[in-house]
């Protein structure tokens, strides 16, 4: 195995040679927390705003599906792409979309009248996750796949996968927008 640490420390690093990592404590409520249906509807509105690029920093960069398209354009061009940043963003995006799909499927149980569009939105995010999964292999976090991000053929393939992912983001957005009024009616 060859990675970014091999040249400095060799092929194996004993656990006791690693710097202390500190301690992380995660606090979670002991009892289940119930939220009202209106909070779930607001979560759908926020998801639609994020997917549509209507929410986020106002720094002029494309957001939502347009941001994924811009990422594809960067890979199709000759601009330098940071391999670790690319790998990190892919990992975060794939994980967020997988979690989003599970959340939407849970909401379908909360809002039976909106179950069909919510299931369609979840399916779109699941398909997006599938479209991204080969990229996770090509550009693994944290190494970024070493020189893979500089290989023109791999960049083109990655751009095509990102364009598919953007299409699924738009499908998810349309389904969520269809679900919102139905969920609002049920929320009262």
114-171 pLDDT, tens digit per residue, is 999 999 999 999 999 999 999 998 888 888 777 777 888 889 999 999 999 999 999 9
Establish if 7 belongs to a structural domain.
no
Domain extent, residue 70, equals 36-51+62-187
77's tokens: 């061009």
Number of folded domains that form the chain: 1
What pLDDT, in 10s, does the model give residues 11-59?
555 656 655 555 556 666 677 767 788 999 999 999 999 999 998 888 9
Distance CA(164)–CA(158), nearest Å, equals 10
Angle between helices 64-76 and 152-187 (to 10 degrees): 180
Establish if 164 belongs to a structural domain.
yes
Establish if 5 belongs to a structural domain.
no
* Alpha carbon 175 to chain centroid, angstroms: 18
Distance CA(3)–CA(21), nearest Å, equals 20
- Confidence (pTM): 0.80
Establish if 42 belongs to a structural domain.
yes
Task: Please name which of 8, 9, 51 lies closest in space to residue 179, comparing C-alpha atoms.
Answer: 51
């Amino acid at each position: 195995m060859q990675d970014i640490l091999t040249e400095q420390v060799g092929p194996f690093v004993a656990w006791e040679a690693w710097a202390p990592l500190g301690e992380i404590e995660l606090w979670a409520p002991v009892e289940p927390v119930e939220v009202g249906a209106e909070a779930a509807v607001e979560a759908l509105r926020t998801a639609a705003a994020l997917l549509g690029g209507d929410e986020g920093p106002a720094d002029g960069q494309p957001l939502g599906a347009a941001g994924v398209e811009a990422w594809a354009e960067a890979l199709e061009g000759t601009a330098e792409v940071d391999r670790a940043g690319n790998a990190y963003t892919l990992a975060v995006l794939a994980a967020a979309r997988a979690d989003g799909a599970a959340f939407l499927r849970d909401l379908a149980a909360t809002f039976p009248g909106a179950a069909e569009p919510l299931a369609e939105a979840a399916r779109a995010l699941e398909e997006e996750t599938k479209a991204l999964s080969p990229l996770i292999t090509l550009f693994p976090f944290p190494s970024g796949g070493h020189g893979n991000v500089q290989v023109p053929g791999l960049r083109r393939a990655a751009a095509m996968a990102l364009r598919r992912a953007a299409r699924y983001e738009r499908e998810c957005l349309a389904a969520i927008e269809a679900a919102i009024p139905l969920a609002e009616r049920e929320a009262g």
